[in-house]
């Protein structure tokens, strides 16, 4: 495997499987696969993670 050939996507922080359990979007996985093939937290059942970008953007 050639790691570093492309930007490795951020692995999703642990999805809350309890929340994902009844979710039809991610089918209980807590993550969904984007068109780019990346995994990301399911937006329907997982709470939005607080990103550093938000923090940086709001603090002027």
Q: Is 33 helix (H, G, I), strand (E, B) or coil?
A: strand
Burial zone of 20 (CB within 10 Å; 0-12 exposed, 13-18 middle, 19+ buried): buried
Q: Report d(CA 27, CA 34) in Å as an integer.
A: 15
Q: Does 45 bind Zn ion (CB under 5 A)?
A: yes
Which of 10, 44 has the CB closer to Zn ion? 44
Write out the binding residues for Zn ion, residues 19-38 only, by CB under 5 A.
20, 23, 25-26
Q: Does 41 bind Zn ion (CB under 5 A)?
A: no
For the CB of residue 28, give the shortest distance to Zn ion in the complex, in Å: 8
Interface residues with Zn ion (CB under 5 A) are: 20, 23, 25-26, 42, 44-45
């Amino acid at each position: 495997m050639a790691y570093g050939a492309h930007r490795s996507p951020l692995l999703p922080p642990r999805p809350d499987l309890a929340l994902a359990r009844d979710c039809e979007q991610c089918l209980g996985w807590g993550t969904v696969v984007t068109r780019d093939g990346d995994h990301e937290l399911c937006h329907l059942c997982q709470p939005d993670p607080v990103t550093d970008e938000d923090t940086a953007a709001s603090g002027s």
